[in-house]
Amino acid sequence: MGDRRSQGRADGRDQDLIDTERLYAVIEEEVVPEFYSRDASGVPRDWLRRIRRSMASLTPAYATTRMIREYISKAYVPAAEGLRQRLADGAAIAKGIALWQQRVRRYWSGLHLGEPNIACEGDAWRFFVPVYLGEMEAEDIRVELYADPLGAETPETLPLVGGEPIPGAVNGYIYSGHAPTSRPPEHFTVRIVPDCPGAQIPGELPLIRWQR
């Protein structure tokens, strides 16, 4: 299963090479010729037009005011609201998260992933994964498929749902879920991560169990 993550990283390196070649092509074939192409006054008119277009489109996206506005709306305000909720009712949520962290840390070493079975069902791969929870409660963790990003995409995570108990096993279940056939099954790796409503993962509990 480690080879699957390696395959995703290899694809990412290929995309980096493609992006680099495209960037150098634009610089060599467009930007540099425009810079050296000058009018009778020695002014690179086309190059200046390119610079002005770039400034007009990039400044609103990378200005300090936009950055501050985004920090406030996406970080500071949600963090303040989260703190308010945790401290309400005598810090009930905060205490619950602290107890959850203790449980997960205590029983984490007992988690075990078996070898998955994969079947093709129409336009999707279906994964069947034996998961042995040990003394862990199923609601304290999340089982999912993970795939490294391709190019500029974000990583792909897909949930696996617990189902039938594994015969003869104690607290073992078959988790299953689907992944698109647009990517080969070896791109996906099974993993277990902690899960608790209101908790910030992985910031507050940086644990992860990968399929070996």
For the residues 26-33, what does the mean pLDDT come to? 93
pLDDT tens-digit readout, 76-104: 999 999 899 999 999 999 999 999 999 99
Q: What is this structure's pTM?
A: 0.67
- Residues whose CB is less than 8 angstroms from the CB of residue 202 and which lie 6 or more positions away in sequence, other chains included: 193, 208
Lowest-confidence pick of 14-18, 70-74, 80-84, 199-203: 14-18
Look at residue 12 and tell me whether its pLDDT is greater than 90. Answer: no
CA distances 54 to 35, 84, 117, 149, 180, Å, are: 15, 42, 51, 28, 38
Q: What is the pLDDT of residue 152?
A: 67
pLDDT tens-digit readout, 37-72: 999 999 999 999 999 998 888 888 888 888 899 999
Average pLDDT along the chain:
90
For the residues 123-137, what does the mean pLDDT come to? 95
Q: What is the pLDDT of residue 185?
A: 93
Look at residue 159 and tell me whether its pLDDT is greater than 60. Answer: yes
- Residues whose CB is less than 8 angstroms from the CB of residue 207 and which lie 6 or more positions away in sequence, other chains included: 104, 105, 108, 193, 194
Q: What is the pLDDT of residue 4?
A: 46
Is the separation of the CB atoms in 211 and 113 below 8 Å? yes
Look at residue 5 and tell me whether its pLDDT is greater than 70. Answer: no
The phi-psi region of residue 134 (left if phi > 0; otherwise alpha if psi is between -120 and 50; otherwise beta) is left
